[in-house]
């Protein structure tokens, strides 16, 4: 199951910049899995379909790039990336809540 997310031009640029930064630190299978999500976002469409894991990768990238900007004393930009990372994480949590596995509570004796 995937969630369709519409990204405005500026939002998409932020995500791609953050993912480009994060991509440089990855290798092996992690990079291959990351590239699947990265390639979806690099397409010319503003709407992208992401699963929960791909949303985690986007959120992590936004936070990691925000942290980098903070170290570079670009505090306003850092805050923007972190806030957007938080909002992406909220989208993921809602998606997981709606589409994740459902557990039935069993009655105990």
**Its pTM surpasses 0.75:** yes
Instruction: Provide the pLDDT confidence category of residue 47 given band limits of 50, 70 and 90.
Output: confident
What whole-number distance in Å separates Cα of residue 99 and Cα of residue 101?
7
The string of DSSP letters for 17-85 reads HHHHHHHTT--HHHHHHHHHHHHHHTSS-SEEEE-HHHHHHHHHHHHHHHHHHHHTT-HHHHHHHHHHH
Average pLDDT over residues 51-64: 92
pLDDT higher than 80, residue 17: yes
What whole-number distance in Å separates Cα of residue 62 and Cα of residue 66?
6
State phi, psi for 87 to the nearest 5 degrees: -70, -35
Nearest to 92 by CA among 68, 70, 63: 63
Element (H, E) at 96: helix 75-99
Contact 20, 65 (CB under 8 A): no
Instruction: Provide the pLDDT confidence category of residue 5 given band limits of 50, 70 and 90.
Output: confident
Structure confidence by residue, pLDDT tens digits, 85-103 = 999 899 999 998 888 777 7
């Amino acid at each position: 199951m995937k969630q369709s997310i519409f990204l405005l031009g500026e939002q998409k640029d932020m995500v791609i910049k953050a993912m480009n930064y994060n991509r440089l630190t990855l290798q092996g299978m992690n990079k291959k899995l990351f590239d699947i999500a990265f390639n979806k976002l690099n397409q010319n469409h503003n709407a992208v379909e992401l699963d929960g894991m791909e949303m985690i990768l986007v959120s992590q990238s936004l936070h990691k790039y925000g942290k980098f900007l903070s170290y570079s004393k670009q505090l306003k930009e850092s805050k923007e990336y972190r806030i957007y990372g938080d909002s992406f994480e909220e989208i993921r949590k809602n998606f997981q809540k709606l589409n994740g596995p459902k557990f039935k509570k069993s009655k105990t004796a």
